Amino acid sequence: MISEQMKGKWPQNIWAVTSDGIPLEAQLENPEAGVYHGYPMPESDPFSHEVIKEWKARDKKD
């Protein structure tokens, strides 16, 4: 999943879910080089549940 907000040619955020079901978020760190910094999303972040929900829905489509 990618954010709609762009910094140059790169999305500001990217989200994914590990095979263990852990939601991850990567934030653009260097827009010139397209370098991201990623980390597990805290369970207390309400958006982490949305990432998991959307990831599962997209996985069913494939």
Return per-residue pLDDT of the chain as tens, 62 residues. Answer: 999 999 999 999 999 999 999 999 999 999 999 999 999 999 999 999 999 999 999 877 76
Name 28's bridge partners. Answer: 36
Q: How far is CA 1 from CA 37, 61, 62, in A?
A: 15, 14, 14
pLDDT for res 60: 77
pLDDT for res 15: 98
- Give the separation between CA 25 and CA 3, rounded to whole angstroms: 11
- Give the separation between CA 26 and CA 41, rounded to whole angstroms: 9
In 3D space, the residue among 19, 1, 6 whose CA is nearest the CA of residue 55 turns out to be 1
Do residues 19 and 2 make contact, with C-beta atoms less than 8 angstroms apart?
A: no
pLDDT for res 62: 64
Q: Is the pTM of this model over 0.85?
A: yes
